[in-house]
Amino acid sequence: MAGTDTTLPIELPPSPAIVLVEPQLGENIGMAARAMANFGLWDLRLVRPRQGWPNERAVATASHAVQVIERARLFEALETATADLNLVLATSARPRDMFKQVIGADQAAKRVKAHIGAGGQAGILFGRERSGLENEEIAMADAIVTLPVEPAFGSLNVAQAVVILAYEWRRAATGDELPFSGETGTPASREELSGLVGHLEGALDRAGFFPTEDMRPLMALNLKTMLTRAGFNAQEVRTLRGVISALDRKRGG
Amino acid sequence: MAGTDTTLPIELPPSPAIVLVEPQLGENIGMAARAMANFGLWDLRLVRPRQGWPNERAVATASHAVQVIERARLFEALETATADLNLVLATSARPRDMFKQVIGADQAAKRVKAHIGAGGQAGILFGRERSGLENEEIAMADAIVTLPVEPAFGSLNVAQAVVILAYEWRRAATGDELPFSGETGTPASREELSGLVGHLEGALDRAGFFPTEDMRPLMALNLKTMLTRAGFNAQEVRTLRGVISALDRKRGG
């Protein structure tokens, strides 16, 4: 979905850290960074990325998410990557044999939002491409976050998991505000609609549309219903009247 | 998030078509297919993919989402790709100068779910990596879907947009059911908690923890509060009593 407005300043409001533990591919780090930038996240922490850091492939796939990639911090251990956090959520696609709460991405986002709103520091952990997080890494998390996947195909790409959490974070943080809204115009008044119906009926009379006078009331009723249902605005009603006039003239000519 | 259970059968329940219009990169098609499989979607339609079809890169990045890639259908025009659909939603990251409703991904998913539940055929359109959908392609869509992106970085990767819509579809379709739930065990009874507190106080007495008898009630109160807040279950209370016994024995020895 192409829609970046490069004239707008990038803001760095309080938001959760995204912690990638031993990510294998630079492409996934880059896509995760891009996903973060899309939804207003900027604190990326990398624990022992397999291909080292900085990583050219990560930069290439981040698609100019420079403020995330340039700020990304490298850590040797999960303990140091999460040292400053006082709310830690760990993503997992499979159940763990641990006494630990399991929540969805939307609940996770709301919890993070409340925590950050109260002045706390929060982070969300994502595991390795092939094996996820280890139980040892989950043990000190406040809760496990999982997604409503199809069990027969539950293996989510790490950047895809990041974008869903980032999306839910943004919804929670902004009150689900969309970047733009639809404009269907002020619906036409009944007078404008009546004018359209009358205009059409007159043209149809001239065109011999109604086979008999008996059938006319029901057919007219159906036309009124059809023309009302779409919620045409005043401009659209004028357009339709122009259409009717054009067809009516053509018949007359 | 690693968690595919390959022993489970793949189901193909009624679900919306994902229509990619002129996707540039095979990788994005593959990632979109994988995202679809993650959330139970299977009807992938490709309109004029730039690198042709089938595409090796798409297969490689689909990560065994075979049921989606193998079923993907190729179309020369959007009109034929959407011919059988009676609900069409078009994704866009930017406003269009059209009288068209704009909804979020969650509303879109609920609308698709209701439509399919009533026996209809639905599809969601995704545009080109660089430029999105053209106005002409959106004109015959029932509504525009957009995501709550950061306006300064609103350009979402197409497969990332697909995974969010797929995730919301799954939530709407399954009533937001997670693939597994947390188990924190039955919270300990007050009797078990009282036993723990008494055990700890006795050990602390022996260890000389309470400086004076005056300070004891408040310190004991704080310990009771701490030990209650976590909602320990019976097994955890037993573990803690074992810990206390071990430390108590060590002092005595």
Whole-structure pTM value: 0.91
The ipTM, to two decimals, is 0.91
pLDDT score at B118: 96
Q: Are B45 and B19 in contact (CB under 8 A)?
A: yes
Q: Are A168 and B104 in contact (CB under 8 A)?
A: no
From chain A residues 199-218, the ones with a CB under 8 A of any chain B CB are none
Average pLDDT in chain A: 93
Give the torsion sign (CA, B153, B159, B163, B165): positive
Q: Please determine, for residue B8, whether its predicted confidence score (pLDDT) is greater than 80.
A: no
Instruction: Return all residues near B89 (Cβ < 8 A) that are at least 6 apart.
Output: B103, B108, B111, B112, B122, B123, B124, B125, B141, B142, B143, B144, B145
Q: Please determine, for residue A64, whether its predicted confidence score (pLDDT) is greater than 80.
A: no
pLDDT score at A155: 85
A chain contacts of residue B167, beta-carbon cutoff 8 Å: 105, 147-148, 164, 167
Inter-chain residue contact B1 with A236, CB threshold 8 Å: no
Query: CB contact, 8 Å: B15 with chain A?
Result: no
pLDDT score at B46: 98
Q: Is residue A35 within a helix (H) or strand (E), and if so which, with residue range?
A: helix A26-38
pLDDT score at A176: 87
Rounded to the nearest 5 degrees, what angle is found at the Cα of B190, between the Cα atoms of B186 and B194? 125
pLDDT score at B128: 96
* A159-163, A206-210, A230-234: which is most confident: A159-163
Q: Please determine, for residue A251, whether its predicted confidence score (pLDDT) is greater than 80.
A: no
For the ranges A43-52, A63-72, A162-171, B106-115, the lowest mean pLDDT is seen at A63-72
pLDDT score at B5: 67
Residue whose structure tokens are 């069990």: A151
Q: Are A167 and A39 in contact (CB under 8 A)?
A: yes
Positions of E strands within A22-159 = 44-47, 73-75, 87-91, 102-103, 122-126, 143-145
Mean pLDDT value across residues A127-132: 94
Interface probe for B, chosen from A110, A142, A150 (most Cβ of B below 10 Å), is A150
pLDDT score at B204: 95
* Count of CB atoms situated within 10 Å of the CB of B232: 21
Q: Are B127 and B159 in contact (CB under 8 A)?
A: no
Structure tokens, A203: 């043209």
pLDDT score at A4: 66
* Count of CB atoms situated within 10 Å of the CB of B202: 12
What is the 8-class DSSP label of residue A54?
S
Mean pLDDT value across residues A55-69: 90
Do the bridges between strand B17-21 and strand B87-91 make them parallel or antiparallel, or are there none, so unpaired?
Answer: unpaired
In angstroms, the separation between the Cα of residue B198 and the nearest Cα of chain A is 24
Q: How far is CA A121 from CA A43, A83, A102, A174, B243, in A?
A: 11, 10, 20, 18, 31
Structure tokens, B30: 């593959």
Average pLDDT in chain B: 93
Inter-chain residue contact A31 with B157, CB threshold 8 Å: yes
Mean pLDDT value across residues B76-104: 96
Rounded to the nearest 5 degrees, what angle is found at the Cα of B221, between the Cα atoms of B219 and B225? 120
Inter-chain residue contact A151 with B179, CB threshold 8 Å: yes
Q: Please determine, for residue B6, whether its predicted confidence score (pLDDT) is greater than 80.
A: no
For the ranges A2-16, A176-190, B6-20, B229-243, the lowest mean pLDDT is seen at A2-16
Q: pLDDT tier at B114 (50, 70, 90 boundaries)? A: very high
pLDDT score at A99: 92
pLDDT tens, position by position, B201-238: 999 999 999 999 999 999 999 999 999 998 999 999 99
